[in-house]
Amino acid sequence: MLIDADTFALIKDGMSCRSQEKVTLRGRQHPVQLYEVTGGQAGRSQDFVVGSGDGFRLFLDSAVLSDRESALSLLRQAVRQIEEQDDPPA
C-alpha cells in the first residue's frame, strides 16, 4: 500500500514504511512523496487501520484510542454519508 507524507507522519512510529519516489499527481502543483507500508512494528499487534483514496483518509490506532464513543460516532456518521450518497462517482 502506498501512502503520502501526511499519512506517513501519522503512522511512522507504529508501522514499517519504505520511502518511494516522488510523483506528480493530477490536480497537485508539486510532486508528492510516497511511502510503501511494509508491515507492523515488531512485537506489536495489528491495532492499526490505515487507508486512503479519493475523498477519504483513515488512520486508527485502537491500542491508544482514548475516546472510543467519539470515534464510533464519527465512523458511523461517515458510513451513513457514504451509504446515503445517491450517485457515487465512477
Q: Which tens digit of pLDDT belongs to each residue from 71-88?
A: 999 999 999 999 998 776
pTM: 0.48
Computed over its alpha carbons, how large is the radius of gyration of the chain? 15
Residue ranges covered by each domain of the chain: 2-84
Q: Which tens digit of pLDDT belongs to each residue from 5-59?
A: 888 888 887 777 888 889 998 888 899 999 888 776 644 556 778 777 888 888 8
Give the pLDDT confidence score for residue 46 in this predicted structure: 67
Give the pLDDT confidence score for residue 88 in this predicted structure: 62
Give the pLDDT confidence score for residue 60 in this predicted structure: 84
